[in-house]
Amino acid sequence: MNYLKLTSGAIKLISSNLAVAIINIMMMPFIIRIYNVEIIGIAALIISIGSFVGSLSCFFYDISIMISETDEKAANLSAASLCFVLISTVLSILLVLFFGDNIMRVFNISNLRQYVWSIPFIAAIEGILLVFLMWNSRNNRFGHLAVCMVMSCFISGIIKLLCAYLGYISIWAFIAGDIIGKMASIFIQLNHLLRNDMDVLKKYISWKRIFLGISRYNKLLVFTSWSLLIQKINLKLPLWILSSLFNPAIVGYYVICRMVLNAPFNFVGRGFSQVFFQQASEYREDGLLNLVEAAYKRMAGFTILPFFLLLFIGKDIFAILLGNRFAEAGVYAQVLSLEAFFSFAFWPLSRLLGVKEKYFRGLAINFVLLLASLSLLVAGYLTRDALFAITIFGIISALAYLFSSLWLLSIAGLYSRTAFIYLTQGIVRYSPVFVLIVSVKFIIGIRDAKTLLILLFISSVYYLVTIIKDKKLVLAIRKSFSDMGSKCAYN
């Protein structure tokens, strides 16, 4: 029962993620070729700083929207989160005004002071989107979120290509595409909110209830805030370290590499993660073990193949499909593929920490992951070799994510032995494809696009067959698509 609800909701988001993936696949080669790696690296750095500030702008009260007991509390916590976003925006403007030069100097881009003013604007947008995400997820509006996700991605890509067509190939153009895409998502969700939830919000929200909600969840500020702060830093730290130690081209190659490595998470993991959080909050006691087991079994089993492809033929994929000058990004993808795979399984499971209120354990896990990220700084500073530093970081982070995931599974009562069994089953399931790829790679060689496309086609067909054989998954897919149209229209 829990599995079908989890998978059906996730598939709605996964379907939108499929559309996003198709849009990205169509636009990425053009965008990467038009905007050189230096522009991509610097723009991604500015956006990452803004999104980091935005992820903190709610003071972590956005989590309480999902786990609060009643809609009344959730509505007031949403209002409280938006108030914190406003306060954070003002503070970030003051921070940029007085310390903008210092910020740019830390990230080795002191000559690009003009771009620092986009940070408060990006932060405000990210904070508002975070509140809308939690409110809509709480109300099971995954179809609506799916539409917003697709529109945001499409508009962002179009703006970047339109700027290039008009001759504005710059860092500002790349940043503007990201900002306008997210603003479109905000307008869509705001329009939906005004049409469907305004009466409810007017009825429930008051300043007294807002302050009561803040007081009720102040424990979040004691443990969760520190834990999540470290978690947010972990997500951005590798990019920041590379920026401070190496030139923008290295940063650009890393960003392009991450675009590809994050595709499976954006395609499948994000949908599973968000719906898993909603379902885990609902079944925080009864049925949680079955929910976690079903989610981990498919997250681990069905995502091995894409990461394995990148591990062995990542350089070939980048060089042939994007051009030889992007082969270095492919090498980065190879050495980071294991880290990406284990982090893929980790992030949905990390939602258990908030659901079960294991704040101290969350702090410990995120501190371990922070130490793993700092290995990039140590290796990079000592050797000044970007590839070596990224390799060391990939190995240490992969181990950290693996053991952290096992620790998280124990919260729900799932033993490490069972987790390794599901992982092994996934490896065995795709072993024929693994043997084929390794044989072609090391015996025949991948020298042209034709050979690569044949391998990718065979892998995709085999992957589709394994999905079809999972009867529960197929049943959930049919259930999801049978009512997605009416749900989207209603939501």
Digit-coded pLDDT (tens) for 157-208: 999 999 999 988 999 999 999 999 999 999 999 998 888 888 878 888 989 8
How many folded domains does the chain comprise? Answer: 1
The answer to whether position 337 is within a domain reads yes
- Please tell me what DSSP assigns to residue 446: -
- Coil/strand/helix, residue 350: coil
The answer to whether position 321 is within a domain reads yes
The answer to whether position 335 is within a domain reads yes
The answer to whether position 322 is within a domain reads yes
The most distant pair of C-alpha atoms in the chain lies apart, rounded to whole Å, by: 71
| HEC sequence for 235-252 | HHHHHHHHHHHCCHHHHH
The answer to whether position 223 is within a domain reads no
The answer to whether position 89 is within a domain reads no
The answer to whether position 60 is within a domain reads no
The answer to whether position 376 is within a domain reads yes
Range of the domain at 318: 1-11+280-491
The mean pLDDT value for 142-149 works out to: 76
Distance of alpha carbon 258 from alpha carbon 426, whole angstroms: 24
Give the mean pLDDT of the chain. 81
Cβ pair 114, 42 in contact under 8 A: no
pLDDT digits (tens, 9 = 90+) for 387-428: 999 999 999 999 999 998 888 888 777 788 888 888 888 888
**Range scoring the smallest mean pLDDT among 15-24, 70-79, 200-209, 352-361:** 15-24
